[in-house]
């Protein structure tokens, strides 16, 4: 006869006793063999409503409650620092690009201005040639 071991180990002394004193099978009313299986279970716990939070063990300490929030704050600070560095880099690049555009505009304005003076000088020279005020050699 093999003893089923589900919940707790059976002491060796009890196994020896059961092997030494087997119980005879009982006859059932219909002529078959009646087998009685007896289990010992822990007392049923009260039902927990669905969605309820079940706490096991001792209540968490203040440090155990605060540490996850501190990790979250640390990660948020790291992310914000990275964002600030990226923003500062973009701002520096934007200022350099704007300064380059202003300088390019000034150079183009100077070139246009100097070309305008040259065109005016050519026009005056051409006019003077056409009027004959200028002597040819």
d(CA 89, CA 94): 9
Better-scored residue on pLDDT, 4 or 115 = 115
Confidence of residue 27 (pLDDT cuts 50, 70, 90): low
Q: pLDDT for 55-112, tens place per residue?
A: 778 888 999 999 999 999 999 999 999 999 999 999 999 999 999 999 999 999 999 8
Q: 57-78 b/e with 16+ CB inside 10 Å = b?
A: eeeeeeeeeeeeeeeeeeeeee
Across 35-39, 66-70, 128-132, the highest mean pLDDT is recorded for 66-70
Answering whether pTM is above 0.95, one says no
- For residues 105 and 87, give the distance between their C-alpha atoms in angstroms, rounded to a whole number: 26
Q: Are 34 and 28 in contact (CB under 8 A)?
A: yes
Is the predicted pLDDT of residue 30 greater than 80, yes or no?
A: no
């Amino acid at each position: 006869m093999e003893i089923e071991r589900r919940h707790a180990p059976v002491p060796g002394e009890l196994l020896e006793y059961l092997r030494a004193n087997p119980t005879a099978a009982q006859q059932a009313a219909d002529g078959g063999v009646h087998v009685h299986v007896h289990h010992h279970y822990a007392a049923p716990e009260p039902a927990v409503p669905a969605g309820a939070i079940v706490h096991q063990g001792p209540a968490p300490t203040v440090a155990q409650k605060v540490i996850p929030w501190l990790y979250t704050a640390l990660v948020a600070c790291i992310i914000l620092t990275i964002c600030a560095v990226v923003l500062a880099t973009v701002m520096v690049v934007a200022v350099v690009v704007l300064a380059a555009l202003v300088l390019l505009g000034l150079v183009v304005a100077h070139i246009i201005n100097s070309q305008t003076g040259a065109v005016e000088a050519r026009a005056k020279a051409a006019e003077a040639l056409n009027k004959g005020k200028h002597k040819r050699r």
